[in-house]
Structure 1
Amino acid sequence: MNLPSLIKNTLEKALKSINPAQSSSTLTIWLCLIVALLEGLDLQAPGIAGARMAREFGLDHAHLGLAFSFGSLGLLPASAIGGRLSDLFGRKRVLMGSVVLFGVFSLATTQVDGFNSLLVARLLTGLGLGAAMPNLIALSSEASRPNRRNLAVGVMYCGMPFGASLAALIGVLWPDSSGWRQLFYIGGFGPLLVLPLLGLFLKESNYFIAGQTTISSGKANKPGIFFALFRDGRAAATASLWVSYLGTVIILYFLLNWLPSMLLSRGLTASEASTVQMVYNFGGGIGSILITSMMDRIGRTPTVTIMYAGMVVALVLLGTTSGSMVLVCGGFVAGICLLGGQSALYSIASSVYPTEVRGTGVGAAVAIGRVGAIIGPLGAGQLLSAGHSETTLLFASIPLIAVSAVAALLVVARFQMESCEAIVQ
């Protein structure tokens, strides 16, 4: 069995196990996966195209880091706003609006003629990308059975790294200096072509509809933002979740944007660097399903512990060798544990908050993570410009992984304690 068939069969089995009795639920997961794949392609595109864009527009490390971070700057408010709007107006409507936004401005990126227009295009693209993710998490989580929600989120999220792998593949297929625009053409037309499918086949969350019915009948009020995040004993979980998101995403986006340039500086060819980047993202797709499946099978605490330990191993491999095969292995492990680990954090976030505030809570956590998406590439660009080595940056990230791991485990422990109390009652 070839690799594409293996991936397809694995996804089909996972989707059938999520909710075999409801075809609309399975279709929801598939559609969310497709949108996540397109989002992953667009998020990775600047990292793949960065070196070529730098040559065309005369950008140094600091300017390139600013361009990367400007895209992430749009993600930050959009994640929180998109999550909040989903609790007010529905997951489907907000997701469709987000898809239009990042599709249109990904196309606009192909028409930039300099550094300033590039910043504007990436900022506006980031608004659409940021608003989409909380809705993808809520829709996939609420479409599945309670005992398969971890896997449902993982199946959806695997589209992100697989989309990023596709971006790396496109970078290999168009190695010439003008080929970087092809990435953004695909990243723009793809979402606009998927939009009619979302309108026709994507079903609104039954949990959201039930909550709106309760509110309309006067039996409940729409919870405010403060209530959603900090009331009913959620303050400690929210704070720990934010710390874990922030630390993990700083490292994730540092590698996502700077790994190709770091590998080129090690003496790898452009093709070899793109291969490592492709393996990194492919490992993320495998890890998304593997890690969330482990959470359903062996529990969240051991899975999260293994996940963060794997991140340390990956950074050591990437920081201590220049051999292409070892770097490929390091990239694959980093993809499984770091990119794949994002699906675990998204799943944990979706379980912390009840339905009526899930979009708000998840959106706020994703927004905090987006701060890391800004700090990671921008900080790395400044440190590299100041003369620090890539190895120094990789090893300096390890304490941040430790802090993020402790925070994530605190959230898991809180969730497990509440579950035990519910069983006792």
Structure 2
Amino acid sequence: MPANPINVTAFIDRHRISPFQMMIVVLCFLIVAIDGFDTAAIGFIAPAIRAEWSLTPAHLAPLFGAGLAGLMAGAFLFGPLADKFGRKTILIFSVLFFGVASLASAWSMDLWHLVALRFLTGLGLGGAMPNAITLTSEYCPDSRRSFLVTTMFCGFTLGSALGGLASAGLIEAFGWRSVLVVGGVMPVVLGVILIRALPESVRYLVMAGKSPERVAASLQRIAPHEDLRGATFNVAMKPSTTSPVRHLFKPELLRGTLLFWVTFFMSLLVIYLLSSWLPTLLRTNGLTLRNAAIVTAMFQVGGTLGAIVLGWLMDRFNPHYVLATAYVLAGVCVAAVGPLASSPVLASVAVFWAGFCVSGGQVGANALSAEFYPTDCRATGVSWANGVGRMGSVVGSVGGASMLAMGWSMPALFAAIGVPAVLAGFTMLTLGRIRHRQAALAVEAAA
């Protein structure tokens, strides 16, 4: 008979990655890939919508804004619900919800009907991504958590890229509505698969006092050779009696929560500003449309590779300092784009490394936030950080127009865009120092 009790966190940490855990990573990869497809879909189909309904560019602004508002609201709403009702339950609900909303969007009769449905689609998307991060994190051993979470999250950029390739053919053959149909069918089919294949987080099950048999069944799939008969399980912490949102502001978490919020806000501001306005900025500096598109694509390529490399580094070195370095370098690389903007080759190099550092850093920050928060408020912590970050994405999406209107030179403009990335680096550095001091005090108190 096994010794009682078994700490599920330590159990996962001391065993090698199993096929069962890799299945969870793959399923969450597919979730965020479809999330990426649906999030990017509106940008791909916007020109066709504008032509069919005779819209002006100003008419499209609410359409883009509705999706971002839904993403923000979904992050704030579904995080606390996942901490109360379970990661699997809310994750599957979110996936099915945005799938059905996307399908319904395909039959929109006018702009405002589509705007409302894009908000609802964004609501589901906003709940799916943070909970996929949380569930993946809670099934990964500490020694490989950052790498596996960041690799899983690369599904988002892959889904966005594949969405662009698929949309071109679908729109030409079947019209813009077909993109929304595909973007709706995929999550509905995946949601049905998830109902049977995706397990609930064992950490959540223990914290919520759910069936020990379900915990034992999942742990047995991680380590089939272990004898878990008669075992009891714990996560080395007492269940919280307060709401998950209030827990974020407890003294031991407050400074970390605020620093993560600033980091996410600044990081996503830079990412969305560059993603939205980089082609236009490059075109105004004389690059052809083709060259501007190629240079902009390097931002996503760099972000994907950066997520994997930074995740690997975070598992081997202090993750706070890895991210702090990445964000500061991102600011330098973004600033370098301005003086190099007239050269497609040199601009591509600068944009690649900017994406590597800032987009890769944002994925790493997601992984770190999942590690920072305890089980009873982890989904809320990750989701609310993403929700605050979405505010930054709105600022970035609309800020480019204001910056262009100021008539700044390219070097001055890109130097200004790089400042928030540097600020994100300093917040990560500060958080690292705070946590180092807290760990040192804990060791002294235990001595």
- If the TM-score is normalised by the length of the shorter chain, which range does it land in? 0.7 to 0.9
Structure-1 residue corresponding to 2:149: 153
Structure-1 residue corresponding to 2:7: none
TM-score in terms of structure 1 length: 0.85
What is the count of residue pairs matched by the alignment?
A: 407
| Of 162-171 and 267-276, the range deviating more from structure 2 | 267-276
Post-superposition CA distance 1:187-242 (Å, at most 9, x none): 2222122112211211111110110118999x745432453111142111111111
One-letter code aligned to 1:406:
F
One-letter code aligned to 1:93:
T
One-letter code aligned to 1:365:
A
Residue 130 of structure 1 and its aligned partner are, at CA, apart by 0.5
Q: Secondary structure at the match of 2:159?
A: helix
Post-superposition CA distance 1:121-174 (Å, at most 9, x none): 221111011011221111011011122221122122111111122123335556
Structure-2 residue corresponding to 1:73: 69
Q: Does 1:351 align with 2:347?
A: no
Structure-2 residue corresponding to 1:3: none
Structure-2 residue corresponding to 1:296: 315
Structure 1 residues 362 and 21: alpha-carbon distance in aligned structure 2, compared to 1, 3 A threshold: closer
Structure-2 residue corresponding to 1:45: 41
Identity between Structure 1 and Structure 2 (%):
30
TM-score in terms of structure 2 length: 0.81
Structure-2 residue corresponding to 1:192: 188
Contact 2:96/2:191, CA 8 A, preserved across alignment: yes
Structure-1 residue corresponding to 2:254: 235
Aligned partner of 2:31 among 26, 32, 35: 35
Q: Work out the CA distance in 1 between the residues paired with 2:337 and 2:46.
A: 20
| Of 203-212 and 189-198, the range deviating more from structure 2 | 189-198
One-letter code aligned to 1:128:
G
One-letter code aligned to 1:290:
V
Structure 1 residues 264 and 289: alpha-carbon distance in aligned structure 2, compared to 1, 3 A threshold: same
Structure-1 residue corresponding to 2:83: 87
Post-superposition CA distance 1:404-424 (Å, at most 9, x none): 221122222223333344455
Residue 302 of structure 1 and its aligned partner are, at CA, apart by 3.6
Contact 2:324/2:424, CA 8 A, preserved across alignment: no
Q: Does 1:339 align with 2:359?
A: yes
Q: Secondary structure at the match of 2:365?
A: helix
Structure 1 residues 267 and 336: alpha-carbon distance in aligned structure 2, compared to 1, 3 A threshold: same
Structure 1 residues 170 and 334: alpha-carbon distance in aligned structure 2, compared to 1, 3 A threshold: farther
Structure-2 residue corresponding to 1:97: 93
Q: Work out the CA distance in 1 between the residues paired with 2:193 and 2:26.
A: 11
Q: Does 1:117 align with 2:113?
A: yes
Structure-2 residue corresponding to 1:287: 306
Structure-2 residue corresponding to 1:25: 21
Q: Work out the CA distance in 2 between the residues paired with 1:169 and 1:313.
A: 31
Contact 1:69/1:373, CA 8 A, preserved across alignment: no
Structure 1 residues 332 and 177: alpha-carbon distance in aligned structure 2, compared to 1, 3 A threshold: farther
- The 5 A counterparts of 1:387-402 are 388=407, 391=410, 393-402=413-422
Q: Work out the CA distance in 1 between the residues paired with 2:354 and 2:175.
A: 27
**Unmatched tracts of structure 2, length 5 or more:** 1-12, 213-233
Structure-2 residue corresponding to 1:404: 424
Structure 1 residues 177 and 405: alpha-carbon distance in aligned structure 2, compared to 1, 3 A threshold: farther
Aligned partner of 2:161 among 157, 160, 165: 165
RMSD (CA atoms): 3.0
Contact 2:358/2:421, CA 8 A, preserved across alignment: no
Residue 30 of structure 1 and its aligned partner are, at CA, apart by 0.9
Structure-1 residue corresponding to 2:329: 310
- The 5 A counterparts of 1:261-272 are 261-263=280-282, 265=284, 271-272=290-291
Structure 1 residues 396 and 296: alpha-carbon distance in aligned structure 2, compared to 1, 3 A threshold: same
Contact 1:162/1:284, CA 8 A, preserved across alignment: no
Q: Secondary structure at the match of 1:111?
A: coil
**Unmatched tracts of structure 1, length 5 or more:** 1-16
Contact 1:95/1:135, CA 8 A, preserved across alignment: yes
Residue 262 of structure 1 and its aligned partner are, at CA, apart by 4.2
| Structure number, greater radius of gyration | 2
Structure 1 residues 405 and 183: alpha-carbon distance in aligned structure 2, compared to 1, 3 A threshold: farther
Q: Work out the CA distance in 2 between the residues paired with 1:317 and 1:23.
A: 44
Contact 1:106/1:185, CA 8 A, preserved across alignment: yes
